[in-house]
A and B are shown apart, each in its own frame.
Chain A
């Protein structure tokens, strides 16, 4: 069955970096995009961007240009989100999701989310 399994919770200080993984299984990794979504505590869902797993091209939503990096380890069917120079407002749960198809389609499978705590 299709699964996206994310790495564990992270506790970081402001200014540090964090790398979150999203390991896919149960389907051909390069056939579907991986999307990233931020959910601040008690808040809704915010689209961060996506990475084309075939071309390895990342696309970032406007609010996530600069400190956020999407990349892949295709041989391991794993996508990564790295956040550099962490700020207090980055404290949130970060979710990965699989696109239903390439092109304009919604997200049909989701990871369990990674809680990132930023505290000095």
Chain B
């Protein structure tokens, strides 16, 4: 099974700051047949269901603000949130869909 490791587990930020969340997979998520990374990011706000933010490691889902940026390839991936807004406070999960599905443990984003 592919293991997804996220870091940090939590971080506190002020609005307007830029934050970076990391996700590392135990094996490459890059499929050579199409050069796509099978990695998604989700946002789960308190008391709500998760929402898809990013897929193919860097493609934003329709309606997602462009301050959410996904990057990385192979085994190392990053979600960057530029100019954090209060509404971005949530838990962020990475997910691999290369071989079945596995989620990372999540990164909780809090306000300072």
Contacts and interface: CB of A to CB of B under 8 A. Distances in A.
Interface of A: 35, 44-47, 61-62, 95, 97, 100, 104-108, 110-113
Interface residues of B, number: 23
A100 B55 contact: yes
Contacts of B49: 95, 110-113
B50 A46 contact: no
Interface of B: 1, 38, 40, 42, 44, 49-52, 55, 61, 91, 93, 95, 97-98, 100-106
A45 B40 contact: no
Given A44-B103, A106-B40, 10 more contacts: A45-B42, A45-B44, A97-B50, A100-B52, A100-B55, A106-B52, A106-B95, A106-B97, A108-B61, A110-B49
Contacts of A62: 1
Nearest to B55: A106
21 contacts: A35-B101, A44-B105, A44-B106, A45-B44, A45-B50, A46-B103, A47-B103, A97-B50, A100-B55, A104-B38, A104-B97, A104-B98, A105-B55, A106-B40, A106-B52, A106-B55, A107-B50, A108-B61, A110-B50, A110-B51, A112-B49
Enumerate the 3 nearest inter-chain pairs by beta-carbon distance, A residue then B residue, closest first: A106-B40, A110-B49, A47-B101
Nearest to A100: B55
B4 to A, nearest CB: 10
A107 B52 contact: yes
Given A110-B51, A112-B49, A105 B97 contact: yes
Contacts of B102: 47
Contacts of A44: 91, 93, 103-106
B31 to A, nearest CB: 8
A61 B52 contact: no
A42 B97 CA distance: 24
Nearest to A106: B40
A70 B93 CA distance: 25
Contacts of A105: 55, 97
A100 B42 CA distance: 13
Contacts of B55: 100, 105-106
